[in-house]
Amino acid sequence: MYNFIMLLNNRLIIIYLFFNQLIMFYRLLADYYLWVLNTISFGNGKLFALSPLQPENLVYPTQLPRLLPAPSLSHRCDRSSSSADRLLSHSYHVIPFPVSHQEFRPLPLCHPPVLSACHPTTLNNNVPYNPRSSVFQVQYFRTSVAYRDEVITVKTPAFAESVTEGDVRWEKAVGDSVSEDEVVCEIETDKTSVQVPSPAAGVIEELLVPDGGKVEGGTPLFKLKKGAGAAKAPESPKAAAAPSPPSAAPTPPPPPSTVEPIPTTMPPVPPVPAHAMDTKPVSAIKPTAAPAAPAAHAEGGAKAARTESRVKMNRMRLRIAQRLKEAQNTCAMLTTFNEVDMSNISEMRKAYKDAFLKKHNIKLGFMSAFVKAAAYALVDQPAVNAVIDDTTKEIVYRDYVDISVAVATPKGLVVPVIRNVEEMNFTDIEKAINLLGEKARKNELAVEDMDGGTFTISNGGVFGSLFGTPIINPPQSAILGMHGIFDRPVAVGGKVEIRPMMYVALTYDHRLIDGREAVTFLRKIKSVVEDPRVLLLDM
């Protein structure tokens, strides 16, 4: 009898336990059902963010949460968070949804069901919401059906001190997205400038007052469409690639919206810029960084965006491009080369540079030698100093030598001119170059400084160029290109010696200048620079 009762008790216990598990299982189902209702219900349209720290990187579990098997009793004391963690760690696919987290604060937040069996006796709604609890790793986002199209009209704020009206000056334009508290316009009233901030984040839809128009307190100013710029924010792909969200959410993959189809053709090779565009500054001027394409797209969001950026061409660049192409089309351009041994002139410079600096207060460079050499050679070969007048079909010979020195400035290439170089000596030339360099740097070059010129010199050596073909600067007939000075082994007097050598290039218009004249011209420059005594002796 006793044995029978014991057996019955055991079975009852087992049955009791079984039903307990069943009830827990049904409770779990009920929880899940409620959770699903909460998350996908359209009646409310609300999903709640529990982790306000990273509203941009919200996890949307794309897999159904797995129902956990009934845990054994030994797991009863496990932390529920661990199972939630395990659950969530399976959802790898993240679609970022940029929503302002500030909208979530005033809403009553519902405790989502805990998907584990370790809270068998608690009902969902009784557990107080605790945002800091590690249980709540799930982040929700809002499908703001109700808020999507809300447009608000912002009125002029009341003016202080009995002022009646003011002028509106717009800071933002139609279509700009603004964040909360960002200044949209300023109202000027009686020597006071009042800022009008945006009451919420959104996109400006319409400006109701023209710029400079008069408004009074309470006049409608502009219409703002709320929505945190969700539709238009170009920074959402960047924000997605921004610092990864904390805690359990895995690193988001690149947002699918900006994935481009795999290109099938090679991107076009960028055209090699003409030599004159790359010309280097005069010795006195430091080279300034070229206005590069916006670097913002190159960095940041490393794996994400492969975007293009379009920058409108600078007017100056457009015109120079046009002129250069015209020059190329009219002139019969070709280039002749030579090399110059710079050892003598370097030695002269080394010997005299301190004394020169002390006496004239400017540095002695190489440009003066080349400019003077060019002037000397131009006087000797007047054809190189001449120009063809296409309209009258005449050759214009000039007895003055104005040398243009190509200078790179932040706004493009400018070519200031040194006038009457044939009468100057090295010092005068250095002074003139210095003065022009100062003016160019301060953006003070006048029209007279840049007009005219019979010959151009461009220095590629500052950037380390070895060899190259300059392009003629219209309406001239020739251009001298200087390149970098590099030590090379050369044959001198039957022996090999290391000398600092520079390649020089002369591009000329063959319609006017013959090969013999061009080569003689270049050789003359070479002889003057290699031995400045040639100038004294007029050889």
Partner 1 sequence: MLSHLRGTFCVLSAGVQRAWSSSSCLFMDPSSPGLVLQSQSTDVFQNLALEDWIDAHVDLQQRSVLLLWRNRPTVVIGRHQNPWAECNLPAMRSAQVPVARRRSGGGTVYHDLGNLNLTFFASKKAYDRRRNLKVVTDALRRVRPQLDIQATDRLDILLNGHYKISGTASRLSRKSSYHHCTLLHSADRSAIAVLLRPSCPGIRSNATPSIPSPVANLSDHAPSLQWEELLEAVVQQYSSEFGLTSSSQCVDPADEALFPGVGSMEAELRSWEWTFGKTPKFSVETQLELRDERPAARCSAQLQLEVKNGRVESCRVEVPATWLPERLSASLAQALLGERFCPHRAAAALSALLRCESGPLHSRLHNLCDVLVAAMG
Binding site for partner 1 (CB under 8 A): 160-161, 167, 169, 181, 186, 188-195, 197, 211-212, 312, 314-316, 319-320, 323, 326, 387, 389, 391-392, 396, 411-412, 414-415, 443-447, 450-451, 453, 473-475
Structural contact between residues 192 and 165, judged by C-beta atoms closer than 8 angstroms: no
Structural contact between residues 28 and 67, judged by C-beta atoms closer than 8 angstroms: yes
Tokens, residue 69? 């098997």
> Considering beta carbons, is residue 119 or 511 the nearer one to partner 1?
511
Task: State in angstroms the smallest separation of the CB of 433 from partner 1.
Answer: 18
Task: State in angstroms the smallest separation of the CB of 221 from partner 1.
Answer: 15
Catalytic residue (one of 360, 509, 514, 538): 514
> Considering beta carbons, is residue 194 or 242 the nearer one to partner 1?
194
H-run or E-run covering 428: helix 426-441
Which has the closest alpha carbon to 429: 481, 384, 480, 367? 367
Q: Residue written as tokens 């390149």?
A: 483
The string of DSSP codes covering 56-97 is: TS-----SPPPPPPPPPGGGTTS-HHHHHHHHHTT-------
Catalytic residue (one of 90, 93, 389, 510): 510
Task: State in angstroms the smallest separation of the CB of 429 from partner 1.
Answer: 21
The string of DSSP codes covering 306-374 is: ------PPPHHHHHHHHHHHHHHHHS-EEEEEEEEE-HHHHHHHHHHHHHHHHHHSS---SHHHHHHHH
β-strand pairing of 478-492 with 455-459 = parallel
Which has the closest alpha carbon to 254: 306, 308, 304, 307? 304
Helix axes 426-441, 367-380, angle to 10 degrees: 120
Virtual torsion, Cα 417, 420, 426, 428, nearest 10 deg: -80
Task: State in angstroms the smallest separation of the CB of 451 from partner 1.
Answer: 5
Task: State in angstroms the smallest separation of the CB of 474 from partner 1.
Answer: 6
Identify whether 402 is a catalytic site residue.
no
User: Residue 179: how many CB atoms within 10 A of its CB?
Assistant: 13
Which has the closest alpha carbon to 58: 69, 49, 45? 49
> Considering beta carbons, is residue 188 or 487 the nearer one to partner 1?
188
> Considering beta carbons, is residue 239 or 383 the nearer one to partner 1?
383
Task: State in angstroms the smallest separation of the CB of 405 from partner 1.
Answer: 14
Identify whether 510 is a catalytic site residue.
yes
Which has the closest alpha carbon to 406: 448, 346, 453, 444? 453
DSSP state of 417: E
β-strand pairing of 192-197 with 412-414 = unpaired
Spatial CB neighbours of 179, under 8 Å, sequence gap ≥ 6:
198, 201, 228
Tokens, residue 30? 């009920």
Active site amino acids: 510, 514
